[in-house]
Structures are given as C-alpha cells and as structure tokens.
A and B are shown apart, each in its own frame.
Chain A
C-alpha cells in the first residue's frame, strides 16, 4: 500500500513537472517579445529604389544581366539545375493567341507589400525603409514558407554547403535568398546594380535603376511619360520592378 502511494506521488510530480515544462516552453517566447527586431539601418525612408525594364530592348538569348548578377553576388551553379540558386533569370514568353515571343529578366520584384515578409515567422524576410526586400541571414530558419508565398518564384533555398562567398553578399546552406537589388552597391552610393550595368555595357539599355520617389529621377520621368505594368498587378503588391512591353 505504501509503495503504491509513493508511486502515485511520483506520478503526480511527473505530470505536474511535465505540465510546467510545457507551459514554460509556451510562455517563455512571450518574454522575448518586448525586443524589437533591429533591422534596416541606414536606409533612407524617403527613397524607394526600383527598376524599369523595357522588354522591347531586351535581346532574345542575351543573359548579360543574369551573368553579371551571379558574378557580383557569388551565385554559382553546382551542376544541379533543380536546386541551384537563381537570383535573376531570363524568361521567354509566348503569347498563346498569336505566338508572339519575347523575353525578359525576372527577379525579386521588391514589393511594397511583400507576401514573403508577411509569412516569415521570424521576421528574417524584411523590407528596408528604402523598399529593398531582403533576408536576414542570421534569423532565417530555412522553413521556405516565403518561397511558397512568393508569386514571382523569386527565391532560392541553399541546398548544399557553400564556399568562397563574397563578403558583401552573405549566403549559406539552409537559408533562403533572392535578389538584393545590389544593396551593397546602393549603400555605397553607386546608384546602380550589376544587372543594369551589364545591360548598359552591352548597349541594350533595357534596364533603368533609380529612386521611384524622386520625381526628377530618370526612372520616375520615364514611368510617368511612357507608362509601365507590373507582373501579377492583380495581387496589388505594388512591386518596385516595373516592365514595359508586356
């Protein structure tokens, strides 16, 4: 009888202990909630960086922007197309009704209301005050929910260990990444991106980088005069990458 009782007590203690542990696990995170996420310093909230892409000037078969981007950011093929990262890609469009073909580059569209930022559980996906959408490589847990949410298929997951990353472009196995709008160049005040430089160098001049909030910038003037459209404009995400000719 006495052993029976002591067994019961220890069981009670076990259950109480387990319940306390689980409750602690549940409540503990809340303690940390007061901490604000410290991201995006130095970006100017008066600015909104964006790209204008004139698809009529984008040459079929030309991949200068893709090569330049991947060179600039140290994105290399590991010979496995299904898992290799692509920050920017050339897409060929064929109109179903007419058969008309043209091609254009697609990358992170740096939405004003980015679904990737909405769904990220840890705020690793974030938007800077100047509109650039980035992944904080220190807090990305690699859940890939942002990749499920992105309407542009703009993001890649790093499927294997990497070496020789560029210091200005942190990348690592098990995290998600995408076009940074060459944020390191922007923050150095260069006012351009690797893809735009390459396109200009090749003489196509199909891409313009600039401040969408500055009415006197080339990008703003051309957008006002010539008009543009956004990919999946129906989603009302207000992307900072605008297209002409689609």
Chain B
C-alpha cells in the first residue's frame, strides 16, 4: 500500500506565481484581442482563406483537445488499472484534462465565423454530423471528469471513484475517436477519409497528454518546492516512450496503406517527398525531433536518468505533435482536390494547385491565448482546491522504495 497522500493548495503568493499569472493573463488578453479583431474585420486578417479553411487556431485547439484526453492518463492508471503510484496525481490529471479541453474549445468557438451564434450550436443539432457529436462528447467529458474529481476530493464519495474513473476512461476514448473522425469521415479529401485516423488520434492523445502532464508535474512540483521522486517520473517517461512508439506505428500503417493505392500516390508524394514545408515538418519535426529523438532520450540508459532530458523529450514530443497536426490539418487541405482524375486543372479559384497558407499573428495570438487560458484556470484552481500532493518523494509513491534503494542504488532509469 502507498503511504497516505496529503494534498494542499498551492500558496500562490510568491512573486514567481504572480508573474506566471500575469504572463498568462497577458496572453489571454492578446487572444481576446485577436478574437475581437477577427470579429470586426473578418477572417481575411488571418492566413486562412477559401482553400485552407482551417488554420493555426485549429492546430492549437485540436492539440489541446487531444492532449486533454491524454492528460487523464494518470487518473485512469490509478482508478481503472489499479496503479496506486499514480493515485496522488489523479486529481491534477483530471483537472488538467478539464482545463486543456476548455482552452481548446475556447479557441474553436472564437474562431467560428459567428461565435455569437454559440447558442445556435447548442440548440440545433444534426446527428449525422460528427461535429455535433463532438459538442456532446466535449461537454459530456467536462461533466464526467468534474464528477470524477468531486468523487476523488469528497471523502464520502471516494467509494465511487473507480466507477467514475471507468466512465471517464471510456468517455475519453470515445471523445478522441470523435476528434479523429472529424477528419476520418471526410470522403472528399485524399489525406483524410481513413478509419485509422480515429485510433491514430487516440494514440496521439496518450503521448501528447502524457508529455504535457509530465511537464506540468515537473513545473508545479519545482514551483511549489514539493519533493518529486525519480520513481514516478521514470514510470511516466517509460510510458511516454511507449506511447510515442504507438503513434509512430499508426503513422507507419497509415502511410503504408496509402502508398499501396495508386490513386493516393499524389498525396503521399506531397507529404513524404515534395511538399516543401509539409515534407520538412513531417520528416524533420514530427519523425526526427518529435519521435525518434525523444525515444532515444527516454530509453537511453544514462541520459534518461536526468530530469532535464526527460523534460526535453516531453517538449520534443509536443513539438512533434504540433508538426503532425500541421501536416494533417493544413497539408491535407493544401493538397488540391482531384475533381477530374487524369486531368490537370486550373482556374481563378486555385483549382489544381497547392494552396498557400501563411499563419498570421492573430491566429497565433488566438491559439496561444486559448492555451494560456487552460493553464491560467489550472493555476487558479490549484490555489483554491487541494489538487497537488504535498510530496511525491519516492517513499510516498512506494513505501518499499527506501529498502530497495539501499540495495540497488545505481539501478538504471530505463526499461
């Protein structure tokens, strides 16, 4: 059994914390400014156009939504898979999942052409639309995780935590299936229209959510000067490595399947060989920096023992995930629709040519603003609720560790 965990609010009076809040508030303000500018002048001030209709805000939003689902990993490991080592982190895990999702949704809503019609989206439903399903999946996820958190934090409800944990775990799998299917269900575009996008997004949620969670745990424990042992970090970094490999597997299966079909050779050549920025992002950032290098860092017997290396690997996984989403979302739109197979096509409406897209400052502001909002919520709630354990020192995670440590002090972090 694990030693009893104590949770305590963060003090929230240190200059560092206040500076963090101020910085996040500035970013949120810039995001709101971008939304106001876009609302006043229209989307032409962004880089999006009639060819690339979803841009940088959608990359940020999808990243946050996918990472939100994965941020719940630690809670699920504890409640669903009975891994007690994760139990002290379950509250933070649930809270981060909620705030990341809220941040992503704020971006999506503020990027709508008519954000003022949010109430229309909440009152008019087309149940054939995966988008409409997602509205239920997102709001439902927030509700389920809120109840889950309440059960965890309210002693008399503790007995129901496993049930809530199961529901939340199933819900996050369905949610990410829904997010992947936004693209998977698009028959018109060659880069999409693939059932494998749903499980690929689930795998991405595990790896991106874990990467964000590791960084949040390291930052909050360092910022509040609470002890964080190597034991829990090693477990998490090993899992992160497995998840990164899982995403690579789905990427490999997706491209191999496409490469087998002659009709998809065009889009594959575009992503893998001659797509310019998309090819660069795919090979250099997504595969090289975002997958291979983190795998090396996370499993290297010596390097992986250093916390900086683990943090760097998590950061690289996040960069790789953003690149992957950029290739999927923007690359998939930039590649021209093939209306007339066997013909070259041209028109004043950019038919038959690779669409150009340059992300604009307002888009970046909106994306960063939503992300900052997620972390602002996290920081504020942690100040008022007992989310963070007072210690994750190795003996708190596993009481037997002190005896183990004395016998095997130089055990490698890997494997």
By a beta-carbon cutoff of 8 Å, the part of chain A in contact with chain B is 11-12, 14-16, 18-19, 22-23, 25-26, 28-29, 32-33, 35, 37, 78, 80-86, 89-97, 106, 115, 117-124, 139-145, 147-153, 155-161, 173-176, 231-232, 235, 246
B124 contacts A153, C-beta separation under 8 Å: no
Chain A contacts of B135 at CB under 8 A? 29, 121
A90 contacts B49, C-beta separation under 8 Å: no
Encoded as 1 (CB less than 8 Å from any A CB) or 0, chain B from 255 to 268 comes to 00000000000000
B50 contacts A85, C-beta separation under 8 Å: yes
Q: Which of B272-280, B343-351, B367-375, B394-402 contacts A (4 or more CB under 8 A)?
A: B343-351
A15 contacts B121, C-beta separation under 8 Å: no
Chain A contacts of B356 at CB under 8 A? 82
Chain A contacts of B53 at CB under 8 A? 144, 147-148, 157
Encoded as 1 (CB less than 8 Å from any A CB) or 0, chain B from 149 to 174 comes to 11001100000000000000000000
Known A16-B150, A83-B49, A173-B113: A26·B139 in contact at CB below 8 Å: yes
Known A22-B146, A92-B345: A160·B132 in contact at CB below 8 Å: no
How far apart sit A97 and B143, CA to CA, in the bound complex (Å)?
58
> Is B117 at the interface (CB under 8 A from chain A)?
yes
- 30 CB contacts below 8 A, A to B, read A11-B153, A15-B150, A19-B143, A22-B143, A25-B122, A25-B142, A28-B122, A78-B44, A80-B44, A82-B350, A83-B44, A83-B50, A90-B348, A91-B351, A94-B343, A119-B131, A120-B131, A122-B121, A123-B125, A141-B117, A141-B118, A143-B113, A148-B54, A148-B186, A150-B188, A161-B42, A174-B42, A174-B43, A174-B114, A176-B113
Chain B contacts of A118 at CB under 8 A? 126, 128-129
Contact of A121 among B43, B132, B350 (CB under 8 A): B132
> Is B41 at the interface (CB under 8 A from chain A)?
yes
Chain A contacts of B114 at CB under 8 A? 140-142, 174-175
> Is B410 at the interface (CB under 8 A from chain A)?
no
Known A93-B340, A141-B118, A153-B337: A121·B123 in contact at CB below 8 Å: no
**Nearest CB on B from A132, distance (A):** 18
Q: Closest chain B residue to A35 by CB distance?
A: B123
By a beta-carbon cutoff of 8 Å, the part of chain B in contact with chain A is 41-44, 48-51, 53-54, 112-115, 117-118, 120-126, 128-132, 135-136, 139-140, 142-143, 146-147, 149-150, 153-154, 182, 185-189, 333, 337, 339-340, 342-351, 356, 384-386
**Nearest CB on B from A134, distance (A):** 14
Contact of B149 among A15, A33, A84, A89 (CB under 8 A): A15
A121 contacts B125, C-beta separation under 8 Å: yes
Chain A contacts of B154 at CB under 8 A? 12, 15
How far apart sit A32 and B125, CA to CA, in the bound complex (Å)?
9
Q: Closest chain B residue to A84 by CB distance?
A: B50
Chain B contacts of A89 at CB under 8 A? 347-349, 351
How far apart sit A197 and B121, CA to CA, in the bound complex (Å)?
38
**Nearest CB on B from A82, distance (A):** 4
A159 contacts B42, C-beta separation under 8 Å: yes
B343 contacts A93, C-beta separation under 8 Å: yes
Contact of B351 among A120, A123, A153 (CB under 8 A): A153
**Nearest CB on A from B317, distance (A):** 27
Contact of A122 among B120, B142, B150, B385 (CB under 8 A): B120
How far apart sit A143 and B182, CA to CA, in the bound complex (Å)?
12
A82 contacts B49, C-beta separation under 8 Å: yes
B125 contacts A33, C-beta separation under 8 Å: yes
**Nearest CB on A from B364, distance (A):** 18
Contact of A153 among B115, B349, B386 (CB under 8 A): B349
B129 contacts A96, C-beta separation under 8 Å: no
Q: A19-B147, A83-B49, A158-B42 are in contact. List 8 more A-B contacts (CB 8 A).
A: A11-B384, A15-B150, A94-B345, A95-B342, A106-B339, A119-B129, A123-B124, A174-B112
How far apart sit A23 and B144, CA to CA, in the bound complex (Å)?
8
Known A151-B337, A161-B42, A174-B42: A120·B126 in contact at CB below 8 Å: yes
Chain A contacts of B51 at CB under 8 A? 82, 153
Chain A contacts of B113 at CB under 8 A? 140-144, 157-158, 173-176
Q: Closest chain A residue to B136 by CB distance?
A: A26
**Nearest CB on A from B37, distance (A):** 12
A141 contacts B120, C-beta separation under 8 Å: yes
B131 contacts A121, C-beta separation under 8 Å: yes
Chain B contacts of A84 at CB under 8 A? 50
B126 contacts A97, C-beta separation under 8 Å: no
